[in-house]
Structure 1
């Protein structure tokens, strides 16, 4: 009867394997988070909402689909609706607004404030 030595996994082997699996899991999570998170984090409004513009300023709000904008707010002009933070229309509406007559106008820059005199 010939006895062959039984091969057992050593603690070192198990640690190395555990580290490889952990590294693979972390890599997969790291690659998934930016893809999944981007569209949600960067959206101007959440699902089921649309953005509206404060008349005469660059202020904004989000309104549930199917509801009218609140008093003092209007819908963005068709084709000029910001959808994601930093997109073309988001940047545009940082310096433009709609006046009380519905005309798109440039928002005047605020006058520099003087420092208090002592």
Structure 2
């Protein structure tokens, strides 16, 4: 059975649903929708715990909470499980701002 035969083999009632599903997927791909989960909500930026692997999100324009600092420039995680999110699971910054292995890694 050819792939085109499969579509025609669908009951007549399901053909519009199938078409809408395909159109939705194609539309999402065209506008660049992502299924990746963002580290922080819009209007926030991520911060990391000094000396540990904890993190938090802070509203734009506000300073990090005590014991937290901004991620080093160019090493900021943007999405869950992206390159930098995984990296910071085993690294942290010390009180001097140096990148070091996380104590629990």
Describe the superposition over 1:37-87 as per-residue Cα deviations: whole angstroms up to 9, x where unpaired. Answer: 52xx42111111100001111000000111000011000011111111222
Structure 1 stretches of 4+ with a deviation exceeding 3 A read 29-35
2:7 corresponds to which residue? none
Larger radius of gyration: 1
**2:16 paired residue among 17, 21, 32:** 21
Higher-RCO chain (CA-CA 8 Å, sequence separation at least 6)? 2
Count of aligned pairs: 93
Partner Cα separation in structure 1 for residue 104 and residue 54 of structure 2: 14
1:97 corresponds to which residue? 92
Matched, 1:51 2:26: no
SS at match of 1:36: coil
Alpha-carbon RMSD across the aligned residues, in angstroms, is 2.2
**2:65 paired residue among 66, 70, 75:** 70
Partner Cα separation in structure 2 for residue 81 and residue 105 of structure 1: 16
- TM-score, normalization by structure 2: 0.75
- TM-score, normalization by structure 1: 0.67
Partner Cα separation in structure 1 for residue 54 and residue 23 of structure 2: 39
